[in-house]
Structure 1
Amino acid sequence: MDPTEFDALAEGMHAKSAASQANYGFALIDGRVAGDDEIAFVERRMGVALPTAFKAFMRSYGGGMFGFIDLLPIVVEPDGREDDLLTVNDREFPDRSFVAVAPVGTGDYWAFPVADGRCRDEVWFCFHDGGEPEAVAADFLEFVASHGLKS
């Protein structure tokens, strides 16, 4: 999915988010954006190259609540109060076979598979209990559209 197509799909969620903030006091999009320096720091620290679409998303929308998913934010100095990309992956995937990008809520994670220090574009479902990982989306924007923007 290209970024322009994704942005068009996300417009509806922006409107719902604003209405939710006004009516109930919480937003459906509550992202913590990351700058180029933060992204580069986390890539160096983790020893992986993150997908281009994921990095662009983190610059524009950020990690945190995005509709119906909670994306791990990119932070340089984790504070221990919330999960973030670096902390979760150091704990869950220290071998860097995958890079988790969002918790499922059951102890499982949605993640990028890693080959030769580069994250592939597709997103996989990784089971916490040792089940075989399963591909769920061809790229990150498709993943966010299907899981975060579902109505």
Structure 2
Amino acid sequence: MEMDAFAADFDSVFGWYSARGLPAPPFDSWIASEADLIRAQTELRVRLPEKYKQFMTTYGGGGFVNLEVIPVVAPNDRTRDLIGLNSGDHEVPGFVCAVPDGTGNHWGFVTADGVCEDQVSCYSFEFGEIEPESNDFLEFMSWHGLHAGRAGY
């Protein structure tokens, strides 16, 4: 999915709520700067996917409708960020966690030689298994972030 298609989907979903007189869904918008992304990539020793970086510099982390996207840099000392989630005891070799699923598992990116795949996969902490989920981050956010759990759309 390309950014212009995602943006149209985003506008459509928020318009759907507005047209029905419903409150707008959660949207924190903790935007990452280019410097934040460079810092995260340097500290994690990975190159993040381009579509993930586009999303984080345009929409940002935090609550995003049906998901909680880990911000690249925490907006306060109580919020986890991408570096903290993927460092030390939390590090999963060969995987960058970006979005918790609420059950202890995480969606994110398989890495090889310091480069994240474009594909979003789910890492099961219980079983240590990685399963492919979506072709890219924008497709993942469209389906799981904007549409999952919303009847009538």
Normalising to structure 2: TM-score of the pair?
0.86
Aligned residues: 144
8 Å CA contact 1:20–1:28 kept in 2: the answer is no
Query: 1:36 is matched with which residue?
Result: 34
Query: 2:3 is matched with which residue?
Result: 3
Query: 2:105 is matched with which residue?
Result: 108
Query: 1:92 is matched with which residue?
Result: 90
Per-residue deviation, residues 46-66 of structure 1 (Å, max 9, x unmatched):
100000111111010001111
Normalising to structure 1: TM-score of the pair?
0.87
Match of 1:141 among 128, 131, 138: 138
Structure 1 alignment gaps of length 5 or more = 22-26
Identity %, equivalent residues: 34
Per-residue deviation, residues 86-133 of structure 1 (Å, max 9, x unmatched):
1111143253x1001100111100010001100000011110112421
Per-residue deviation, residues 19-48 of structure 1 (Å, max 9, x unmatched):
525xxxxx5211100110111011101100
> Which whole-Å CA distance do the structure 2 matches of 1:45 and 1:78 have between them?
18
8 Å CA contact 2:46–2:116 kept in 1: the answer is yes
Structure 2 alignment gaps of length 5 or more = none
Query: 2:49 is matched with which residue?
Result: 51
8 Å CA contact 1:13–1:28 kept in 2: the answer is no
Amino acid at match of 2:3: P
1:125 aligns with 2:128: no
